Amino acid sequence: MRTSLKNALLLIAACAVSTGASAHTGHGTESFMEGLAHPFGLDHLLAMVAVGVWSVSALPAHKAWQGPATFLLALVLSAVLGASGVTLPYLEHAIALSVVLFGAMLIVAAKPMPKAFGLGLIAAAASLHGLAHGAETPATGFAGYAAGFLLTTAVLHLGGVGLGLGIRRTLAARSGVVLGGLGTALSVAGVYLFSQV
């Protein structure tokens, strides 16, 4: 395995270990800088990187942008709904289960899946995250916080795309096994997050 791929995997593991389980309590939501920092919560970090990895592993190369774009669009629209008071019961539990979902998507990434179905799952999961963020953000700080949050989200998606490309290029013959291992680890992390809510 190439050094750059190992470093990327180690970085993700370090971020995952060093971050609290629930990303929706005890943090600021009123500034651009707080928005930049927030996606490094474990649930968001894993979900956003997974979207990038899945997109380059399951979609044609020229359409890999659609996974991150779908996530970002659904995140924004649902955050506006959340800020308007729309919510769901057991939202934090559902967010944790979205990490399990992304793990399952990575496990089957090498197998054919209708593109619209995969993008629909991404939109549904992103909507859960957006509802939670919209609900917790005061109206006075929404724009700055959202801008920072979206910027970091896009960067994490790009990191996932880079990781997925690294897996495909350096481990072509074993990419299915590696994606399956990452997906399994992600699903286990999601179950852990669910148990901590």
Neighbours of 171 (CB within 10 A): 16
Structural tokens at position 7: 């470093």
Q: Does residue 36 surpass a pLDDT of 80?
A: yes
- CB crowding 97-118: b at 16 or more within 10 Å, else e: bbbbbbbbbbbbbbeebeeeeb
How big is the chain by its Cα radius of gyration, in Å?
16
pTM: 0.83
Where helices occur in the chain by DSSP H, the ranges are 3-18, 32-37, 42-58, 66-83, 91-107, 115-136, 142-170, 175-196
What is the torsional sign of CA 144, 147, 148, 150? positive
pLDDT in tens, 69-94: 999 999 999 999 998 889 999 999 99
Residue 15 has what pLDDT? 46
> What average pLDDT does range 102-119 have in this prediction?
90
Selection from 67, 56, 30 nearest residue 144 by Cα: 30
Selection from 151, 126, 130 nearest residue 50 by Cα: 126
pLDDT in tens, 127-174: 999 998 888 776 666 788 888 989 999 999 999 999 999 988 887 778
Residue 6 has what pLDDT? 54
